[in-house]
Structure 1
Amino acid sequence: MQIDSTNICERLCNKSIRDISWLLNIPRSTVSGIITKWKQLGTTATQSPSGRPRHMTERGQRMLKRTVRRSRQLSAESIAKDLQTPCGLQNSTTTVRRELHGMGSHGREAASKLYITKCNALDAMV
């Protein structure tokens, strides 16, 4: 919001909209819109974010992450049930999966690795 306050300060210093847009290298329509908004509302704050609010709060996300770290083998259904009891969060399994996916936790099996014997290790070194 630095551009907004700069525009207002410039306007208060009796500069024209054209001069302000040239100084800040932004379109005249943007400068004019900000000044108009300032005159009407007294502020240049933006509107509240659009879209539906997230169902799981930050606290719920932290608890989910902690639960998954404790036992990584749990299913999404059991995690959702575990979160319901202590803190009263009513989240579906889909929400739990979506949040875990967003945190970077994916339900994948570990890669199978061969057992390295002394013979295998010696062959690799040669």
Structure 2
Amino acid sequence: MARTEELSDFQRGTVIGCHLSNKSVRHISALLELPRSTVSAVIVKWKRLGVTTAQPRSGRPHK
């Protein structure tokens, strides 16, 4: 499975905006052409932490 780019802050904000407009995860996924799992993960992270920005990771970055 290939790694992809991280979502931009704008994309994450768009996911949350759609969620606040009572759109379903499936509808948001189709609208933004993102996997349902990604949309769900952004929403869960926003509900739990209150932020949508990418958090720093521990460890050395890949080459």
TM-score class, shorter-chain normalisation, is: 0.7 to 0.9
Query: Which structure has the bigger radius of gyration?
Result: 1
- Please name the residue that 2:22 is paired with: 14
What do you get for the CA RMSD once the two structures are aligned? 1.3
Among 15, 34, 38, the residue aligned to 1:30 = 38
Deviation at 1:47, TM superposition (A): 1.9
The structure with the largest helix share of the pair is 1
Larger relative CO (CA 8 A, sep 6+): 1 or 2?
A: 2
Query: TM-score if structure 2 supplies the norm length?
Result: 0.75
Instruction: Give ranges in structure 2 of 5+ residues lacking alignment.
Output: 1-8
| TM-score (norm. length: structure 1) | 0.39
Deviation >2 Å, runs of 4+: 49-52
Report the count of equivalent residues.
52
Q: Percent identity?
A: 54
Q: Which runs of 5+ in 1 are unaligned?
A: 53-126
CA distance in 1, matches of 2:56, 2:38: 20
